Structures are given as structure tokens and as C-alpha cells.
Amino acid sequence: MFQTGCLLLLILASLFVQQSPKSFMVNHIQKHTTLFVPLVVDKASTLSDWAYSQAVNPFNIDTWKGDLSQFKSRIGKHITWHSDRLISPANSERYYDHVSHTMNIPPSELDDQHRLFRISGLGHCRGGDGAWAIGQTNVLSSMIRWVEEGKAPNTLFGRKYVNGSSRRHCRYPLRNQYHGSGNSSLPESWTCR
């Protein structure tokens, strides 16, 4: 799981670590967030650095465990949302399908504990062309209703503040489909199918 301290380290790395024109920012992020070493001006990571970091700590985000039976036995609830220009949202879909297959349960049963929402138009972490601002209170309120009242969320509400559009983002595997008429910036003009 990505640790909160890594985010601060990531921001500091992006501000203070000098990079050669040939290096890619992710090389430095990987090096500093996986090994938790002090920020040091360095050259781009090598294959040896990568192999070492895999041995020490597999990116501290090795989340491909498909057996969530312990989580399920505790009646755990999990909401994931994803859309990104840099990290394919198909990875979250693959993981959802992987969990369903590994635990040998259909998606309808997996939905009792795990919901995935694809946020159309969301950039990397924030921004983008779509109604990406879903708000922590929206997600937290959805989680509370699910846990305390048994009302699982079927959509997460998103807003685009620049042009005023909004959307109800559907739970996977459903997708938003435009009705074909009406104002496309209004959530009522879309249906989960």
C-alpha cells in the first residue's frame, strides 16, 4: 500500500532532485519511495537499482493479491476509483477481475465487499477534462451508508468546476452511456449500462 509519507517524499523529490534530460521522473520516484533513502542528487536508476529495490521492497505497492477472503470474513468494504492518463485504469479492472477469479466468486458477490468506479476524464491524481472532482465527503458518505445502513453505492458523483458539468460515475463493469438527447453536462442525460 502506498504510504502517506511517500507522497511528501514524492513531492520533495520532484522539487529538489536534479534530473538529467535523459532520465524519467518515475525512475527517481521509484528509487526514493521504494528504498526510503534520503534525497540524493543521482543519475537515473539502473537495472541493478531496480533488481535491488524489488528484493528489498517490491515497490511498496505490490497489490496483486487476489485472495481477499480474510477481508471478506471481516465483512470489509472497499471502494476503489480509477482513471488516469499515466497508469492505465485497465489495471484496476484487471485486478477486480483477478480477485473475482481467484476467490471463485461472481462479480455480483464481489460487489458485496468491493466496488470499483471508473472516473471518466480524470487525469493523474486530479484534473482532467471530465467531471473528476468526486470529493472525499462523497466517497466517505457512500462508505458510511454502505457499512452502517447496508446501502452499497452504485455511483459516485463527480463535478467539473470549470464548465459546470457533473456526472454519476458507474460501478464496474457498468459504463456511462449518453441518452442521445439533453444537456450532456447534466447527470440526468446519462445512464449506467
For the residues of 127-138, what is the DSSP string, one character each?
Answer: --SSS-B--HHH
Residue 2 scores a pLDDT above 90: no
Q: Which domain holds residue 21?
A: 4-56
Does 150 score more than 90 pLDDT? yes
Q: What is the pLDDT of residue 125?
A: 75
Share of the chain above pLDDT 70, in %: 72
In this prediction the pTM is 0.68
Per residue in 127-138, pLDDT tens? Answer: 888 888 888 678
Contacts (Cβ under 8 Å, ≥6 apart) of 62 = none
pLDDT (0 to 100) of residue 105: 94
Chain segment 71-129, per-residue pLDDT in tens: 999 999 999 988 887 788 888 999 999 999 999 999 989 999 999 999 988 888 788 88
The residue among 134, 47, 189 whose CA lies nearest residue 142 is 134
Q: How many domains does the chain have?
A: 2
CA dist 89 and 118 (Å) reads: 7
C-alpha pair distances (Å), 67 with each of 16, 75, 79: 40, 14, 17
Q: How many CA atoms lie within 13 A of 174 on its CB side?
A: 19
Indicate whether 177 belongs to any domain.
yes
Rounded to whole angstroms, how far apart are CA atoms 60 and 158?
A: 30
Tell whether 63 is covered by a domain.
no
Q: Are residues 104 and 167 in the same domain?
A: yes
Question: In this predicted model, what pLDDT tens digit does every residue of 17-62 receive, in sequence order?
Answer: 444 444 445 555 555 554 544 444 355 667 787 777 777 766 656 5
Residues 78 and 37 in one domain: no
> Are residues 78 and 170 both part of a single domain?
yes
Domain shared by 75 and 52, yes or no: no
Domain assignment present for 118: yes
pLDDT of residue 40: 42
Same domain, 136 and 44: no
155-159 and 166-170: which strand pairing? antiparallel
Note whether residue 61 is domain-resident.
no
Query: In terms of Cα–Cα distance, which of 56, 59, 61, 37 is closest to 13?
Result: 37
Question: Per the domain annotation, does 159 fall within a domain?
Answer: yes
126 & 164 share domain: yes
User: Per-residue confidence at 162, pLDDT binned at 50, 70, 90?
Assistant: confident
36 and 123 co-located in one domain: no
Same domain, 95 and 180: yes
Does a structural domain hold residue 161?
yes
Q: Is residue 94 part of a domain?
A: yes
